[in-house]
Amino acid sequence: MRRKIYDELVEWKNKSGRMPLIVGGARQVEKSYIPKEFGAREFDNFIIVNLETDKALAQQFEENITPGPIIRYLEAAHSQRIIPGKTLVIFDEIQACAKALTSLKYFQEEAPEYHVAAADIQNRILNEYIADMAKYANPATSVKIRACYESIPAQLAKENRKFQYSVVKRGATSTIFGEAIEWLNYAGVTLKCKKITQGTIPPSRRMSI
């Protein structure tokens, strides 16, 4: 698995028209170690910054999120040149700075020649979903909500992608887990898609020409 991840990073490095890379994963050590190894082996130099602890950089993003000023700030702060194609920039804990997340769009649109990676978005979002389940539901219901939530990858991996309560727990029914699914729908975590036999335009939306 680690070899596969590394190969995917190399593929991203060599891809034309690449987007900033988002790195996430369940294993904190691998999440931070692999990009560092990738930067050391595949680039002339790399800069890694932690946006949770580097308040000066976070303030820089608050003032300007376009690539030019950010690159110049990083070069001055780390006494390194950031050269397109030769330098890897890693924004760790990027979820701590909303403006830094927004800046990825501008790196893609205005400065795609730079290799920019962002780490630890996915895990924080998933953890916040789970925390909300315990915060906004009673203990018994939150356990069911989390069980349904954690079954989603298995549900989507099936050939028949209809939500099946038996995947959550053997012998489970909508009577037991229906409320949990509705909670996920209302929270916007999941989206209910109803099966139809025919697609038509609602009468109120039809137009006569």
pTM of the entire predicted model:
0.59
In the chain, which residue ranges form alpha helices assigned H by DSSP? 2-14, 28-42, 55-63, 67-78, 98-110, 122-136, 139-157, 165-168, 174-186
Total residue length of the chain: 209
pLDDT of residue 18: 85
pLDDT at 209 > cutoff 60: no
The CA-based diameter of the chain, rounded to the nearest angstrom, is 67
What are the beta bridge partners of residue 47?
A: 89
For 27-57, the pLDDT digits (tens) are 444 556 778 889 999 999 999 999 999 999 9
